[in-house]
Amino acid sequence: MQVTTRDVMEEFNLTLVGGEEGIGRAITTSDISRPGLEMAGYFTHYPANRVQLLGMTELSFFEMLPDGVKVERMRKLCSPTTPAVIISRDNIVPQELIDASNEYQVPVLSTSMTTTRFSSRLTNYLESRLAPMTAVHGVLVDVYGIGVLLTGKSGVGKSETALELVKKGHRLVADDCVEIRQEAENLLIGNPPPLLEHLLEIRGIGIIDVMTLFGASAVRNNKRISLVIDLEIWDPNKMYDRLGLDEQKMKIIDTELTKLVIPVQPGRNLAVIIEVAAMNYRLKRMGVNAAEEFSRRLDAMIADEDFEG
């Protein structure tokens, strides 16, 4: 996803000081530069493609420079690839910077926030917007605080199961298409496309608005994905896991998620099964594994019988 300087200006309500013609420049990295060394004249490894953030330290040093040097430094700062120069704390913007920004069409923006706080907020915003992204056919629901991604062939019952979960008090995130962003290591965030937000498709009924029918507490706009449950039509010739010792994985972007395969056949209450799967996943994360405990007891019993025999 592309982010422009205009997006940042609107998101953080920044004031445009100069370089208005370059307001559509693309920001391609979440890294932010504090050009202290550049103010001192060292441009050998200048990260020109980053947003340049000038605080009180950089500006106070800049004011100590001779007039001719000031002009030269600001012209170098406003490179052809620099997306923006931002001044924090509502500091006075040097006229040399305004002149260079207008000449080279590099936007100069101002914020009232402190340098550290703005840097942190801007980094988080850019990491979220620039994160690697993919789309998966499925349904994402929040079950007991666990983001559960339901996958499976079309018509297997994903949306109907999600509807039953919503009726039981859980929350719908996305139906049919789930947009997934890798916001950090082992952190996948799923959300619906804007067109499908809060909507659920039920065959025979059509499109329903979950928020209108069940209230705002029945939906959420995004959720971290922790568990994948693949629904498939019951195959009598296939051996399904009955103990839960063999954990399958599914890789999305750069993250591996726990995957469960749930066979679907008439009479199975999938909503209850998914609730239990989510709770069991939470227990495993807390160190309680029923399958391993059963296996340990069984091994102990077999060992006792062999000893007695």
Give residue 1's pLDDT band: very low, low, confident or very high (50, 70, 90): low
Residue 91 lies in a domain: yes
Cβ–Cβ < 8 Å for 207, 158: no
Residue 304 lies in a domain: no
Question: Same domain for 74 and 195?
Answer: no
Q: Is 157 marked as a binding-site residue?
A: yes
- pLDDT at residue 243 in the model: 62
Domain boundary among 78, 101, 129: 129
* Cα–Cα distance, 158 to 156 (Å, whole number): 6
Question: Same domain for 74 and 210?
Answer: no
Q: What is the DSSP letter of 238?
A: S
Residue 76 lies in a domain: yes
Range of the domain at 225: 133-294
Give residue 236's pLDDT band: very low, low, confident or very high (50, 70, 90): confident
Rounded average pLDDT over 141-152: 95
Question: Same domain for 146 and 290?
Answer: yes
- pLDDT at residue 247 in the model: 77
Cβ–Cβ < 8 Å for 29, 49: yes
How many residues in the chain? 309
Active site residues: 137, 158, 176, 242
Residue 307 lies in a domain: no
Quick check: 309 pLDDT over 70?
no
Quick check: 307 pLDDT over 60?
no
Cβ–Cβ < 8 Å for 121, 12: yes
Q: Is 155 marked as a binding-site residue?
A: yes
Residue 248 lies in a domain: yes
Question: Same domain for 140 and 283?
Answer: yes
Question: Same domain for 77 and 137?
Answer: no
Q: Which of 272, 302, 58, 297 is nearest to 170 (CA)?
A: 272
Question: Same domain for 47 and 164?
Answer: no
Quick check: 291 pLDDT over 80?
no
- pLDDT at residue 54 in the model: 95
- pLDDT at residue 290 in the model: 67
Question: Same domain for 94 and 69?
Answer: yes
Residue 214 lies in a domain: yes
Q: Is 21 marked as a binding-site residue?
A: no
* Average pLDDT over all residues of the chain: 90
Q: Which residue has the higher pLDDT, 293 or 286?
A: 286
Question: Same domain for 81 and 169?
Answer: no
Structural domains of the chain, count: 2
pLDDT tens string 10-23: 999 999 999 999 99
Query: Angle at Cα 26 formed by Cα 20 and Cα 27, nearest 5°?
Result: 110
Question: Same domain for 38 and 170?
Answer: no
Q: Is 41 marked as a binding-site residue?
A: no
- pLDDT at residue 306 in the model: 60
Q: Is 154 marked as a binding-site residue?
A: yes
The domain that contains 12 carries what CATH number? 3.40.1390.20
Rounded average pLDDT over 222-226: 95
Cβ–Cβ < 8 Å for 13, 31: no
Domain boundary among 106, 129, 152: 129
Question: Same domain for 38 and 182?
Answer: no
Question: Same domain for 181 and 54?
Answer: no
pLDDT tens string 129-138: 898 889 999 9
Residue 82 lies in a domain: yes
Question: Same domain for 69 and 146?
Answer: no
Cβ–Cβ < 8 Å for 171, 200: no
Residue 263 lies in a domain: yes
- pLDDT at residue 196 in the model: 92
Domain boundary among 113, 129, 145: 129
Quick check: 269 pLDDT over 80?
yes
Q: Which of 122, 14, 108, 125 is nearest to 54 (CA)?
A: 108
Q: Is 152 marked as a binding-site residue?
A: yes
The domain that contains 153 carries what CATH number? 3.40.50.300
Cβ–Cβ < 8 Å for 189, 180: yes
